């Protein structure tokens, strides 16, 4: 009897709910339909992180063909890391800059001041005097437990095109490349997320929107993106940011030697009982190794077309870790701080010894 009021019944209910569904489809926001959970995550991270990514333009002075001074402008990206106006970027973005200008996501432009830079790790911190209400700091995550295959996102300003998002995965971990200064950059994150000129200094983000890396370089025969990009692990940045802010530079450990790889042919020519290790060809006078008693080459011999100082010590291991190349020694030394001691196992003549060296602070410019 109740179902009959006004002609209402089961059939009527079906018609009503069908019409309601059609109406909802017609008026529902299109963004709620057709998106996967992964796409929703990407959109959410972008909306939260984009305001914390800035465009950096720098002006440097160069000499033209006629030796006249001409300005040249470069561009890159950066990430706001706190509400005081500190911004993390690549050192090569602001290297030798006479003027730095930072553009926020709201379009406002602010003069930037270099706080400190570390060419070896290609990181720098700059600062702008913008109200904290205009700044959106990005959270620093961790690069300790990253996994190959993990989703990552890069936000930057490639070719001056602001707030560009690219998505990819971590392709590999622990990569090593040479920086512009020739120093060895280690433990880099490799990603296939598109990174192009102008992305340098921008953040590499995880699915939570946390910075896990700072985009720094690409491998490309043509200069464009081919899906092999590199980012500096955020744990490296977290370690040196306080030092950059406090001192303006990073104090790197220094052994004070020049090394040369020991090959089997060279070992045979020098009548050495081993072909593993690195030759100490020079010891910097009054440097850490010199004060500890490490010996460099004593005579010059011709090896092929090159003259090489020989007769010095051969470093076989650092802190018990066997070394096969100069990079192995550098890698072990860089794990430490100036003032720390390091044990070297050396070959001197026909016998092995252990020498303890107190590392110094590498002179600026070396």
155-200 pLDDT, tens digit each: 988 666 677 899 999 999 988 877 766 777 888 999 998 887 778 8
94 in any annotated domain: yes
In the listed set 247, 269, 300, which residue is the last one of a domain according to the structure?
247
Residue 299 in this model has a pLDDT that exceeds 60 = yes
Confidence band, pLDDT 50/70/90 cuts, at residue 70 = very low
38 in any annotated domain: no
Q: Which CATH number belongs to the domain containing residue 128 in this structure?
A: 2.40.10.10
User: Is 122 annotated in the active site?
Assistant: yes
The encoded tokens of residue 333 equal 């030394």
Let me know: does 201 contact 231? Beta carbons within 8 Å.
no
262 in any annotated domain: yes
Q: How far is CA 230 from the centre of its chain?
A: 7
Same domain, residue pair 242 and 157: yes
In the listed set 206, 225, 247, which residue is the last one of a domain according to the structure?
247
253-279 pLDDT, tens digit each: 999 999 988 888 888 878 888 888 999
Res 295: pLDDT: 94
Same domain, residue pair 296 and 278: yes
285 in any annotated domain: yes
Same domain, residue pair 82 and 164: no
User: Cβ contacts of residue 120 below 8 Å, gap of 6+?
Assistant: 179, 181, 183, 185, 250, 252
**Domain count across the chain:** 3
| Averaged pLDDT, 292-300 | 90
CA distance 234 to 213: 5
24 in any annotated domain: no
Phi, psi of 202 (to 5 degrees): -80, 165
Q: CA distances (Å), 305 to each of 280, 301, 308, in order?
A: 20, 10, 10
| Averaged pLDDT, 238-267 | 91
Res 198: pLDDT: 78
Exactly one of 58, 105, 122, 143 is catalytic; which is it?
122
304-362 pLDDT, tens digit each: 676 788 889 999 999 999 998 888 998 899 889 999 999 999 999 889 999 999 999 98
User: Cβ contacts of residue 156 below 8 Å, gap of 6+?
Assistant: 53, 76, 77, 164, 195, 198, 199, 200, 201, 202, 203, 215
268 in any annotated domain: yes
Res 71: pLDDT: 47
Exactly one of 77, 92, 206, 328 is catalytic; which is it?
92
In the listed set 107, 134, 161, which residue is the last one of a domain according to the structure?
134
61 in any annotated domain: yes
Same domain, residue pair 275 and 354: yes
Exactly one of 118, 171, 200, 313 is catalytic; which is it?
200
Same domain, residue pair 72 and 126: yes
3-state secondary structure of 221: coil
3-state secondary structure of 284: coil
Look up the domain containing 350 and give its range. Answer: 253-361
């Amino acid at each position: 009897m109740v179902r009959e009021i006004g002609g209402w019944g089961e059939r009527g209910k079906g018609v009503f709910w069908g019409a309601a569904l059609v109406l909802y489809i017609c008026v529902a926001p299109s963004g709620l339909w057709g998106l996967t959970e992964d796409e929703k995550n990407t959109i959410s991270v972008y909306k939260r992180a984009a305001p914390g990514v800035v465009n950096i333009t720098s002006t440097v002075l160069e000499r033209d063909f006629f030796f006249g001074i001409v300005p040249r402008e470069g561009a890159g990206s950066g990430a706001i890391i706190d509400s005081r106006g500190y911004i993390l970027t690549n050192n090569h973005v602001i290297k030798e800059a006479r003027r730095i200008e930072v553009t926020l996501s709201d379009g406002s432009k602010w003069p930037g001041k270099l706080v400190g830079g570390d060419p070896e790790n290609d990181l720098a911190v700059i600062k702008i005097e913008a109200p904290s209400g205009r700044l959106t700091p990005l959270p620093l995550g961790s690069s300790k437990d990253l996994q190959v295959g993990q989703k990552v996102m890069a936000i930057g300003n490639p070719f001056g095109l602001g707030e560009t998002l690219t998505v990819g995965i971590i392709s590999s971990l622990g990569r090593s490349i040479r920086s512009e200064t020739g120093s060895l950059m280690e433990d880099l994150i490799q990603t296939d997320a598109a990174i192009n000129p102008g992305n340098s200094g921008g953040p590499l983000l995880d699915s939570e929107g946390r910075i896990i890396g700072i985009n720094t370089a690409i491998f490309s025969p043509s200069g464009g993106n081919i899906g092999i990009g590199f980012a500096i692990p955020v744990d490296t940045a977290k370690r040196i940011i306080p030092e950059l802010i406090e001192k303006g530079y990073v104090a790197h450990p220094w052994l004070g030697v020049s090394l040369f790889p020991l090959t089997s042919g060279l070992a045979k020519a020098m009548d050495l009982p081993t072909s593993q290790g690195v030759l100490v060809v020079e010891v910097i006078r009054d440097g850490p190794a010199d004060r500890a008693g490490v010996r460099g080459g004593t005579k010059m011999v011709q090896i092929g077309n090159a003259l090489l100082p020989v007769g010095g010590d051969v470093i076989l291991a650092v802190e018990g870790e066997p070394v096969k190349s100069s990079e192995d020694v550098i890698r072990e030394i860089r794990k430490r701080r100036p003032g720390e001691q390091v044990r070297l196992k050396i070959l001197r003549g026909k016998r092995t010894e252990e020498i303890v060296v107190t590392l110094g602070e590498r002179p600026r410019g070396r």
